[in-house]
Amino acid sequence: MDIFKGLKQFFWPDKGFLIGSVLGLAIATAIGLVYPLLLRALIDDVIKPKEFDGIMALALLAVALIVVKAAFQYVHGFCGGRLGNRLAYRMRNASYDKLQKLSFSFYDQARTGDLMSRLTADIEGIRNFVGFGFAQLLNTLFLVLFGFGMMFYVDWTMGLMTLAIIPVIGYFAIRFELQIHPIFRAIRIAISKLTISVQENIMGVRTVKSYDSADHEYGKFDEGNSQYKENNLSIAAVWATYFPIIEFVASFSIALLLLVGGWRVIHHHMTLGDLVSLNGMLGMIVAPLWTLGFQINNYTMSKASGERMLELLNRHVDVQPPAHPVQPKPNGTGLIRYHDVNFRYPNHEHQPSALTGFDLTAGPGSVIGLLGGTGSGKSTVVQLLLRAYDVTSGAIALDGTDIRQLDLNALRSRTAIVFQESFLFSTTIRENISYGCAEATQEQIEQAAKLADAHGFIMELPGGYDTIVGERGMGLSGGQKQRIALARAFLIRPQVLILDDSTSALDMETEHRIQLALRQVMEGRTVFIIAHRISSLRHADEILVMDKGHVVQRGRHEELVRLPGLYRETYRTQYADRPDELGEDAAGGRRVSG
Ligand SMILES: Nc1ncnc2c1ncn2[C@@H]1O[C@H](COP(=O)(O)OP(=O)(O)OP(=O)(O)O)[C@@H](O)[C@H]1O
């Protein structure tokens, strides 16, 4: 029940529909139970005394009851439908909202397929139960309560006798629920595994095919599929055991009723009408008891789904927005200061620090270059600036205010980041460029594309700016995708632009043209360039050379290239086939232009 308490916020705002649905069904059920009484009246008061005038009145009463019952059934259906759908709508929105708020550390571990199955299959399970399953379970309860009430009213001895079946059926129903719940949970997990496997196979189809790993992938899928099948077989086995037991108990009670009831009619302890009506009532009670197993299934399934949804919805958000957010200073210059920043990734405490004692002051208009081997901590520096993660110790300040105190959206809206692996949405190139700036005009979009050296190739595409690019920009080269992502960032003209290895797929000439444009777009603003190639950041105002989370060298290209150290080694490696600008430079060697 705790699970449904946790989900209350999603269905309680529609408590009117909940009450309507439950009441509608309860009244319709109660009316249904009046039919056997009509039958009793027909036999005992009309047929036996041969007073046939009463037939018409009884028939009219039956019609009236049918109409009223149908009206209440409509109320139940209408309210239940509204309730379930509105609940599902709220839950989808809340989960999606949560997904936006969850920090990067969640996504470091999350699996797309699993999240997809929570947002679809699990919500659907809850919708079905809260909308209809719950009312039907209550309906069974009402039928048992009202039904036995009426049976006692007709003949209490018979009522008492048939009541004995309830604990027996209840016992088996509870045992059934205990056995089936863990299997349903396992089924949900198996579905999620299957979805993950399909999704990863589709996303990574190129890798799968190029490594000829189709058989391996098939094996993985088959494993999940077998698990799913086994779980379903277990469910079938549990059903197969309990269904006949419940049916036997229910049928046995009818046989008992006929035996004892028949004897009582013969000995004039009750009328024939009583027996017929009792038989009708028992049939009405037993029918839903037969489906009790199915209803309990429904309940346990939605409970398992609710558990998984609450797990997502209650997930702790590592990076919390400040309780009293401060807006960035409107007259701030955009000065960024890292002060003795240390950082270790959450849930990776066993790993060495990703960043140690990092200091940096980046004034507006400056271009900061971050160079270093893979895993040296370059991306971590900029991720911390966006508050993708919070620093472990030390502080980062924007215009003198600690970024942990700043309004998170305002902080992030001042920043744009372009990654090496550019993500393009499955829509037109125009919408991809104007993502984050929906009100941009065609002229502005084209201007941004020109600055990113993308306009030329876009115009050569059959649909121009209206060309739809696939989910991951299929059909475009890596360099073309990077240029669209750059145009997207240029269009926003952020206060801080971060290029995280985002020109790696471009040839040096194109990269140089974009760098010139960058100076123009980002005049008076701050740019971080993360790169492995010296050509990408040789013009930076300050270059930080990183190694294992430490800054091992810093300065301008001209200074660093003359000092012994990692920068010079990298330079030598990258420009091995060309005369360099090291010591030989002064001795008349040629300068290398980037
Ligand atoms: N999400 C993460 N969770 C745990 N550890 C991480 C995560 N991202 C990076 N790391 C670790 O932190 C260290 C620094 O990584 P970072 O991505 O900052 O390096 P980088 O210099 O940008 O590397 P590259 O040039 O390969 O992109 C590495 O040891 C890396 O394994």
Q: Which sequence spans correspond to the domains of the chain?
A: 2-313
Q: What is the C-alpha to C-alpha distance for residues 543 and 334, in angstroms, rounded to an integer?
A: 19
Choice between 377 and 594, residue whose per-residue pLDDT is larger = 377
**pLDDT at res. 577:** 63
Query: Per-residue pLDDT for 479 more than 70?
Result: yes
Q: What is the C-alpha to C-alpha distance for residues 309 and 19, in angstroms, rounded to an integer?
A: 24
pTM score over 0.90 = no
Residue 551's DSSP bridge partners are 546
Q: In 3D, which of 86, 57, 81, 67 has the Cα closest to residue 27?
A: 67
| Span 143-153, pLDDT tens digits | 888 888 889 99
Ligand 1 pocket by C-beta < 6 Å: which residues? 108, 345, 348, 354, 372, 374-380
pLDDT band, very low/low/confident/very high, at 21 (cuts 50, 70, 90): very high
**pLDDT at res. 381:** 94
Mutate to test the pocket of ligand 1, among 345, 420, 552 (most ligand atoms within 8 A of CB): 345
| Span 128-177, pLDDT tens digits | 898 888 888 888 888 888 888 889 999 999 988 888 877 887 788 778 87
What is the pLDDT of the chain when averaged over all its residues?
86
Measure 549 CA to ligand 1 centroid, in angstroms.
9
**pLDDT at res. 588:** 34
The ligand 1 atom at the shortest distance from the C-alpha of residue 532 is 25
Measure 460 CA to ligand 1 centroid, in angstroms.
38
Q: What is the C-alpha to C-alpha distance for residues 322 and 432, in angstroms, rounded to an integer?
A: 31
230-233 — which CB contacts under 8 Å span 24+ positions? 231/183, 231/186, 231/187, 231/190, 232/187
Q: What is the C-alpha to C-alpha distance for residues 28 and 74, in angstroms, rounded to an integer?
A: 9
pLDDT band, very low/low/confident/very high, at 525 (cuts 50, 70, 90): confident
- Look up residue 280 and give its two tokens: 């009708």
Mutate to test the pocket of ligand 1, among 102, 104, 347, 379 (most ligand atoms within 8 A of CB): 379
Query: Per-residue pLDDT for 271 more than 90?
Result: yes
Name the residue at shortest CA distance from atom 3 of ligand 1. Answer: 345
Residue range 85-110: mean pLDDT, rounded: 88
Q: What is the C-alpha to C-alpha distance for residues 62 and 84, in angstroms, rounded to an integer?
A: 32
Residue 395's DSSP bridge partners are 339
CATH of 2-313, one of 2.60.120.10, 3.30.559.30, 1.20.1560.10, 3.40.50.720: 1.20.1560.10
Q: How far apart are the first and last CA of the chain?
A: 67
Name the residue at shortest CA distance from atom 1 of ligand 1. Answer: 108
User: Within 10 A of 10 (CB to CB), how many other CB atoms are there?
Assistant: 25
Measure 513 CA to ligand 1 centroid, in angstroms.
29
Measure 470 CA to ligand 1 centroid, in angstroms.
28
